[in-house]
Amino acid sequence: MKLKSVIAVLVILFTSSPVFSEQSDVDISFYTGTFDVIDKEGDDQTNLIGIEHKNPNLFRDTVFGKFKPITGAFITGDSSIYLYTGIEGQYQMGPLKILPSFTPGYYEKGDGKDLGSVLEFKSEIKVGLDIFENSKLSYSYSHISNNDWGDTNPGTDNQQITFSKNF
């Protein structure tokens, strides 16, 4: 049931916005990786899969770099879900792109790790390389925490491999 809810939310988010109009490009990323990668006991570590959307038309070039909004979700092997939206920066270093992001979101533990709150914050650093025209392969490392706003704050560190495509 939870997977159906996640899919329904993603469909609503992606199709209700103007990102699929003829004038705009769509950047969709699919990723997989390890949830709670530094779990010392090993009982909460599991796999994760996710999807992320970025609208290249909403890039803003500022004195601090290029920024754009991002929206996404992932589900773990233990049925934990995280739905998020936030902002991502982009810095070009030759063929590499450095992409830091900050995304508050909703976390549901399912059968997985209790992070102490439904409101969690994900900080991520991603390093990407253009592999084909309009396609990128990236590695990212993220930390999810509730900033001590919840009952507990164990946090989790995750790593992912991402494939992104502009349509």
**Nearest CA-CA partner of 141 in 38, 53, 56, 55:** 38
* pLDDT for the residue 139: 98
User: Which carries the bigger pLDDT value, residue 55 or residue 90?
Assistant: 90
Over residues 106-131, the mean pLDDT reads 96
pLDDT at 154: 93
Give the tens place of pLDDT for each residue, 17-71. Answer: 444 444 447 889 999 999 999 977 778 899 999 999 998 788 888 888 899 999 9
pLDDT value of residue 123:
98
**pLDDT exceeds 90 at position 166:** no
Q: Containing domain of residue 8, as a range?
A: 2-166
The reported pLDDT for the residue numbered 150 is 87
Among 14-28, 71-85, 90-104, 143-157, the least confident range: 14-28
Number of domains in the chain: 1
- Listed in sequence order, the residues at least 6 apart from 116 whose beta carbon sits closer than 8 Å to its beta carbon are 146, 150, 151, 152, 153, 154
Long-range contacts made by residues 148-152, C-beta under 8 angstroms, separation at least 24?
149/117, 149/119, 150/115, 150/116, 150/117, 150/119, 151/116, 151/117, 152/114, 152/115, 152/116
Rounded to the nearest integer, the mean pLDDT of the chain is 86
User: Residue 92 above 80 pLDDT?
Assistant: yes
Q: Average pLDDT, stretch 118-124?
A: 97
Residue 71 tokens, joined: 């929206």
Indicate which CATH number applies to the domain containing 70. 2.40.160.20
Residue-level pLDDT at 19:
42
